[in-house]
Structure 1
């Protein structure tokens, strides 16, 4: 398993944002779902070493997030919901900057490959500040996959994309999931049904289901994932 989480807890003041959750993830695309404030982003931030857990344990590619944060960061590509970018940099310049941080071998070739993968070719010579929201998302995704990590954590990766862009990015996520562990957080249920083979739904800091998409739909009368989500998160 690329990711193992055991008894993970995060407390802010008197609020348990994440309440003793456990799960694992192997190569493939895992849909990590929940209402706003359910604990999704908090869990992902803990996995990436962005914030510490209050209790429990999380391993990424065999490395403990708390004790080996540098090794974990080498294994993970992270696209946060906020997608903070250096807007005064040109697209290729920003990718070269990230490549330098990761000390990539043959960075120019890898940058060219990632630009093609993410469809950034037409915009590669523009400043990030001149790009549409959809293309900024592509830059964030390109930065996340640039160092070819084994684990990708994507928080609302298709936000702002038009229907044509959606198709290409969904296909990219599907292709990445063939060899990598991808955790995908989104509110778009059709997106989960299109690319995910496993689903975790978290509500009020606790996991309410952890199953394959096929089993989940079969156990609920083959209703839509949206209906299943509403049923499980309104309890």
Structure 2
């Protein structure tokens, strides 16, 4: 396993940031780590990068314990923190050479990484002159310099415009073909586009650990409908594939169906047969965002 987390807890004074969480990540997986603000995402990443120690439990990276073998863990990890620490007065290639001196990396490796991350046109510019997207590329390039087997990325696409976001996403997907990638983000669409699997954390506890195709296979849909008259929810529960009915207000209902078939025609036929008029009708698929909101109460 690339990452093994076993019963990790972390206390800050009397506050419990992580509550006995466990998960494993296999080599070659791209795993999204999601949670609302304050859920414990950054704390977990700091533990995996040996920046802080857990209060309880163990974390292993490529077979090395984060507490007893922190140097070996760092050799195996490339880390891009949320606030990318860069020396803005240094040139891109100069900054890469500065970082490579720590790992005693050859010049050819530097040029390979500059090319891989699409930095060749900007390599002779000062970092302070670069756009946010290119600065993220510099951070990724430095994380990749020593050819780590595991990449840990904390909010790698925050603050990027749509074009930059697509570029960084494609770069991460490309990197993920050869390395294990563990990334946190608040952008659900990015997880759906990049990741094989998602782990959702809330209040320091894991509330979901699913492969993205499992979420799609078990996709549900919500039909939001407003009738011109109030009816008993029991009648709607008799519709095929219905798992839940909620009268949100007045004549407005949310009907959850456990099927991928579009059930709007079924609701329309129900209204017609019962001499009801439909004032509003909308269909919403259950997806990662709706699962996230359901599990975290957001």
Which bin holds the TM-score, normalised by the shorter protein? over 0.9
Q: Which residue of 2 aligns with 1:170?
A: 169
Show structure 1 runs of 5+ residues with no match: none
Deviation at 1:142, TM superposition (A): 0.8
Where does residue 231 of structure 1 map in the other structure? 294
Please say if residues 21 and 206 of structure 2, whose CA atoms lie closer than 8 Å, have aligned partners that are also in contact: yes
- Alpha carbons 2:133, 2:168 under 8 Å: kept: no
What per-residue deviation string (whole Å, max 9, x for no partner) do you get for residues 90-142 of structure 1?
A: 111111111110112xx222111211222222221122122222221111111
The aligned residue for residue 89 of structure 1 is 90
Partner of 1:190: 189
SS at match of 2:214: helix
Superposed displacement of residue 159, structure 1: 2.0
> Is 1:58–1:64's contact at 8 Å kept on the other side of the alignment?
yes
Residue 9 of structure 2 corresponds to 9
Which residue number corresponds to residue 136 of structure 1? 135
TM-score (norm 2): 0.75
Q: TM-score of the superposition, structure 1-length normalised?
A: 0.95
How far 1:168 sits from its partner (Å)?
A: 2.4
* RMSD of aligned residue pairs (Cα, Å): 1.4
* Structure 1 match to 2:19: 19
Counterpart residue number, 2:44: 43
Looking at structure 1, the residues matched to 174 and 68 of structure 2 have their Cα atoms a distance apart, in angstroms, of 32
Q: Secondary structure at the match of 2:289?
A: helix
Whole-Å separation in 2 of the counterparts to 1:224 and 1:216: 7
* Cα separation, 2, equivalents of 1:227 and 1:218: 15
Higher RCO (C-alpha 8 Å, min separation 6) = 1
- 5+ residue gaps in structure 2? 221-284
| Counterpart residue number, 1:120 | 119
Distance 2:171 2:205 in 1: 30
Work out the CA distance in 1 between the residues paired with 2:85 and 2:75.
19
